[in-house]
Amino acid sequence: MPEINEELRKMQNTYEKILEDLPETRESVIPALQLVQKSRGYLPGDGLEFIADYTDTPLANVYSIATFYSQFYLEPQGEHTVKVCQGTACHIKGANEIYEALLGKLGIAPGEVTPDGKFTLTTVRCLGACSLAPVMMVDDKVYGNQTPDEARDVLDEYRD
Ligand code: FES
């Protein structure tokens, strides 16, 4: 299948270019993951394989690192990533109701992207803003003391 090989070769060239300034060592795994994700929007399987080869690190280790840190995504993301905190402080103050309200508004399952490509909804263990519980985050912006209605309204700000 020459077309697939051509695609593969192009992608390899792209990854080579993305990583060209990094040393080809294990210490480069995390920066390489960051660079590939920045370029592709997530970490596709061929990107993880390329990083494993490039840094001479077993693929299983690269995969473990990519799944350990919440900053990395193995699936394509929506234009905006919405995170609802499920840590203890937020849980006690009603984070579940917020999460359910947002799932209902967006009509997606956890981790999915809305059909228009706008949003991905996920949960996190603690956003480090417990005094503002319950907390949600859209991209890099934190929204504290949320009610389900307020949380739904926040999403509308990102619709346009
Ligand atoms: S528990 Fe939600 S911000 Fe810490």
| Mean pLDDT in order along the chain per 10 residues (160 residues) | 75 93 97 94 94 97 93 89 95 96 92 91 92 95 97 92
CA of 85 to the centre of ligand 1 (A): 6
| Ligand 1 atom closest to residue 127's alpha carbon, by position in its atom list | 3
**Pocket probe mutation, ligand 1, options 123, 124, 135, max atoms within 8 Å of Cβ:** 135
Distances 160 to 80, 102, 114, 157 between C-alpha atoms, Å? 12, 17, 14, 7
Helix (H) or strand (E) holding 85: strand 80-85
pLDDT by residue (tens digit) across 85-104? Answer: 999 999 999 999 999 999 99
pLDDT of 154: 97
Q: How many CA atoms does the CB half-sphere of 46 hold within 13 Å?
A: 13
What is the value of pTM for the model shown?
0.72
pLDDT of 7: 82
CA of 93 to the centre of ligand 1 (A): 10
Judge contact between 121 and 80, C-beta under 8 A. no
CA of 102 to the centre of ligand 1 (A): 18
